[in-house]
Amino acid sequence: MEIRAFLKSLGTVLSARRRSMQLTQEQLAERLGSTAQWVSEVERGGTPSLEMLLRYSEALSIPLPALLEAAGGGPSLPPEARALMEEVRDLSPAAVKVVTATARALKESGVARVS
């Protein structure tokens, strides 16, 4: 699945789950420690960080692998990405920030290239 299509699908899944829990964007934003504007952006296909995906998973009571699979990204994720998600799942929020920052630094440095 192409990344933009996946993000749009992810936004649709997140929005549907939020509405099924009868939460407004403002209420969800409060749970996430974010803003309603940001929630709206993600629901329209914006790119959330790994940390924010984990927060969504917790706030919406849906395991991250199930969330990604519902959006159409679960089965097509490389085994390495699924393994990383499994490792990150039980980390503290502080440790998730470190992993996210490290991944971002690798991406920005050009060391990690998507093939």
Q: What is the pLDDT of residues 30-80, one digit of tens each?
A: 999 999 999 999 999 999 999 999 999 999 998 888 888 888 865 555 677
Helical residues (DSSP H) of 1-115, grouped into ranges: 3-20, 25-32, 36-43, 50-59, 64-70, 79-89, 93-109
Cα angle 62, 28, 90; round to 5: 40
Query: In Å, how far from its chain's centre is CA 58?
Result: 11
Total-model pTM: 0.63
